[in-house]
Amino acid sequence: MIKTAAGALEEAAVNDPSIDALGPQALTSLYVGLFSYLVVITLLIISGIGYLGLKKTLGYKMGNLYGIVSIITSIISIMIASEKFGLWGVIGFIYPALTLLLLNTTFKEDFVN
């Protein structure tokens, strides 16, 4: 028998009443997480286009904004989801930190437009 996601959630809520209590809070944190990652992805794409054209606003400024927002999003997701600091947590910090470091040291003078 094939179960749908809604059917499985309903069955779990009947068997475990604590899932019912977490429903609205878990859904809200899911929406906040999705929105924040959409913002990060959008900033990453915009800054990547700016990197290719060596644009000051699209590359340098959006790249810095991406690094800051991405690190904040990673911290919040670890706090909300109570995730362990694993491989994806490390990647979530190292790549934006390297982006900030390299944009503000090595490639700072390259963005002239």
- Whether 55 shows a pLDDT value over 70: the answer reads yes
Integer CA distances (angstroms), 56 to 23, 95, 104, in order: 44, 20, 12
pLDDT at 42: 95
For the chain, what percent of residues have pLDDT higher than 70? 75
- Whether 40 shows a pLDDT value over 90: the answer reads yes
Is the pTM higher than 0.75? no
Each domain of the chain, given as residue ranges in start order, spans 30-110
Which one-letter amino acid corresponds to residue 43? L
pLDDT at 80: 72
| Unique residue bearing structure tokens 């927002």 | 69
